[in-house]
Amino acid sequence: MEQQVDALREEALALISAANSAALLEAARVKYLGKSGAVTALSEGMRNVPKEERPKIGKILNDLRAAVTGALEKSQARLLEAADSAAVAGLDLSLPGTFPAPGTLHPLTQLMDRAVQCFRRMGFAIADGPDIETEWHCFDALNTPPDHPARNEQDTFYLHDGRLLRSHTSSVQIRVMETTPPPVRIIAPGSAYRRDEVDATHLAQFTQMEGLYVAEKVTLGDLKGTLEFFFRELFGSGTDIQFRPHFFPFTEPSYEIDIRAEALGGEWMELAGCGMVDPAVFEAICKQRGDRVYDPDKVSGFAFGFGLERLAMNLSRIPDIRMLVENDLRFLNQF
């Protein structure tokens, strides 16, 4: 009996270890452990074993079954492992990926959003005004009466009803103060228009970011601190910033801001206009509102504005401003 068992074990283990497919392994299992398998047949022979030998024979048979089962499991694991590695071995990851391309946000949108997020961190809310403006909102209320040398109708688009396409987003300052009592702390991203030939550096329509802060005791130091913080947030702490005295009818004192940053190509560029809100603007607002909440003796404020196109051009080294409105996918795909 024991010899018989040894022979059977040897045969079964050899067959199982030689099985190189799941089918052969299953056939081996059936051959030994199946209902009419060899091991099963031996176990059934237990009935004829004398009672006193049963524990011994029983153990021998149990060991046999355990050995066969163990070998089967081991081979099964071996086969699975081989199949698994075969399944990934053929994966040629040098083949080009095929996921469909995602879309892109326009570079001006991306830049505008960076600027908006930065101003929001400083507590500015967004304000809005119409592109089609009245002369009053665009010029008169901004201390630029009809005969003012700074008021240039030739460069402004007019509608037949006398309204115009705003030549700057500063009109939003007026829109905001007309309807909102101080304090106001707003930015207004939007379009402005200039009646001019389009070329590599000029568009008839451009994107501006306007800002206004009016409250009690706002100083030139606030203006300086705010814009210095902003430009360094946007273009790096190493950004050089210069405020150069300038003239705008609606601010006094007025400055132009030149900045120099590695991100912008490392050259000085004229970037923004800013200044302390001119008292004449506050007076125009008071008159329009019919109250004195914007009395220039009670409140003060600063305003600023800058164009986004030239910034985007410097940031991304865009050689021609028209690329920003041509919407060529070969261009857009790079952002």
Partner 1 sequence: MNISLNWLRDYIDCQLSVPELEALLRRAGLEVAGVKKRGVSIEKVVVAQVLESVQHPNADRLSVCKVDDGSGQPRQIVCGAKNYKIGDKVPLALPGAVMPGDFKIKTGKLRGVESEGMMCSAKELQLAEDAEGLLILDASSVPGTELKNLFPVETVLELEITPNRSDWLSHVGVAREIGVFTGKVAQVPRPALPKSIDAAGHASIEDAGCSYYTLRKISGVNVAPSPQWLVDRLISIGLRPINNIVDITNYVLFELGQPLHAFDAGKITGGIRARGAIDSERFQALDGQEYHLPAGTLVIADDNGPVALAGVMGGEGSGVTESTNDILLESAIFDPSRVRRASRALGVFSDSSYRFERGVDPDGVATASARAVELILQLAGGTAASELLVAGSVPARHAVTLRHDRARALLGTELSDADIDAALQRTGLEKGLDGQWVIPGYRRELTREADLIEEVARVVGIEDIQSRAEGIFAQGSSADAAYDFTMALRRKLAGAGFHEARTGTLISANAADLIGPSVSLKNPFGDDQSRLRNSLIPGLLAAVVRNFDQGAKSIPLFEAGRIFNSEGEFQRLALVATGERQSPDWRGTDVRPWDAFDLSGLVVRIAGATIQPLTNPPTPFGAAAVAALNGKRIGIVGQLLPSVARSLGIDGALLAAEFDLDAWLAVDAREKTVSPLPKFPASSRDIAFIAQLALPYGEVQAAIASLNEPLLESVKLFDLFTDPKGEKIPAEKKSLAVSLTFRSPERTLTTEEVNAATDRIKAVLREKTGVDLRE
Least Cα distance to 251 among 224, 280, 225 occurs for 280
Q: Which is nearer to partner 1, 245 or 290 (CB)?
A: 245
List the beta bridge partners of residue 142.
Answer: none
Minimum separation from the CB atom of position 85 to partner 1 (A):
23
The pair of three-digit structure tokens given for residue 266, joined into one six-digit string = 């490392």
Minimum separation from the CB atom of position 121 to partner 1 (A):
11
Minimum separation from the CB atom of position 288 to partner 1 (A):
20
Minimum separation from the CB atom of position 7 to partner 1 (A):
53
Q: Which is nearer to partner 1, 20 or 158 (CB)?
A: 158
List the beta bridge partners of residue 210.
Answer: 188, 305
Q: Which is nearer to partner 1, 14 or 329 (CB)?
A: 329
Least Cα distance to 135 among 122, 144, 126, 148 occurs for 144
CA–CA dist 167, 324 (Å, integer): 20
Q: Which is nearer to partner 1, 3 or 154 (CB)?
A: 154
Q: Which is nearer to partner 1, 13 or 323 (CB)?
A: 323
Kindly list the strands in the beta sheet with 125-126, ordered across the sheet, starting from the edge strand earlier in the chain: 125-126, 184-193, 205-215, 300-307, 269-277, 251-260, 240-248
Does the bond joining 181 to the residue before it have cis omega, within 30 degrees of 0? no
Minimum separation from the CB atom of position 169 to partner 1 (A):
13
Collapsing DSSP to helix, strand or coil, 236 comes out as coil
